[in-house]
Structure 1
Amino acid sequence: MKLHENNALGELAGAIGKGLLAGLAATAAITVSQMIEMRITKREPSEAPLKVAERAAGLKPASKDDKQRLSQEIHWSYGTIWGITRGLISLTGLKGVPATLIHFGAIWGTAMVMLPKFKAAPPVYKEDAKAIVIDGFHHAVYAVTAGIVYDTLDGAGKHDRRLNRLIDKLHLKGLISKLKF
């Protein structure tokens, strides 16, 4: 008897759930990274999330407080949801550094295309090198954190598979056939 049956929908749901948790942790990490960088460089918070929201969904905050709140809601929602992509990448069998590199490329590549499209940032070829490096660093913080958290959460699955293989081996030898699970 197997303790766990292979179930594609269950694996998908697990990958999405773990991805959301990884995305939430990664959003916290990039937020801290950006806050530290803004203190060092004296940079103001980006209005890119608001610009995209205004152009894509017609959202217009009524006050400065609403503007700040909406910006934070978009930032946290967007970052958390990107964690799902990390989960979907894992379903291909990729783990660790290769999965993190693909996730990083997807996240940063999307930002480089989407933000200029919505006139929320200039195209990357019009940015100065310092801004590109800082932006890449923040996205790397996000991707690495998401990868570490996801792979940590996904580690239990490896133990389940090992346990199932052991149970199968023992069952084949008749050692646990009398046990009921």
Structure 2
Amino acid sequence: MQLKRASLAANIGSGVFAGVAGTAVMTAFQKLVEMPVSNREDSYFPATFAERILPVHPAGPEARKRLNYATHFSLGGMWGTAYGIAATTGLRGQKAVNTVFATVYTGDVLLNVALGLYQPTQWSKKDWIVDLLGKYVQAQATGAAFDHFFGPARRS
């Protein structure tokens, strides 16, 4: 049996779900592994990003925390769309994960530098490791979720 390639729209939709799942894995990794090892506090960067690009201004710490998680998972879903696009071109597995990660991570850094939110030239080695590792965990989990659970390829 041959696998029929799914449409771009189906792959993007599946990518969103996979990206949200990948973000859940990344969040668990950060909370249970990375933060206890690095002694890093919770990051509210997603909320700061949302406040910079959207007309939102949370009223209080709980509202900001909700905005932070909503933005965190929304950005993860958007990263997942890139995996869906890659799948439409035939990329899957580790090659897709690495290609998508390199492309999206570079775009992420450049966008945040342009917005004045990142200053990577001032990051420590630890900052780079934490940022790269967390987002690479997300990319790996997104690829696995897409390929094993959400990928819309159908048998013909």
Q: Same fold (TM over 0.5)?
A: yes
Distance in 2, matches of 1:29 and 1:152, equals 15
TM superposition shift of 1:53:
1.6
**Where do residues 1-181 of structure 1 align in structure 2 (5 Å cutoff)?**
11-36=7-32, 37-122=34-119, 124-153=120-149, 157=153, 160=155, 164=156
Percent of aligned positions with the same letter in both sequences? 29
TM superposition shift of 1:111:
2.3
Compare CA radii of gyration and give the structure with the larger one: 1
TM superposition shift of 1:156:
6.9
TM superposition shift of 1:121:
2.6
Tell me how large the CA RMSD over aligned residues is: 2.2
Query: What are structure 2's unaligned runs of at least 5 residues?
Result: none
Which structure is richer in relative contact order (CA contacts within 8 A, separation 6 or more)?
A: 2
Query: What are structure 1's unaligned runs of at least 5 residues?
Result: 165-181
Question: Per the alignment, in what secondary structure is the counterpart of residue 45 of structure 1?
Answer: coil
Distance in 2, matches of 1:55 and 1:111, equals 15
Q: Where do 4+ consecutive residues of structure 1 move more than 4 Å? A: none
TM superposition shift of 1:58:
2.9
- Count of aligned positions: 153
One-letter amino acid matched to 1:26: G
Distance in 2, matches of 1:68 and 1:97, equals 33
Distance in 2, matches of 1:111 and 1:16, equals 19
TM superposition shift of 1:110:
2.2
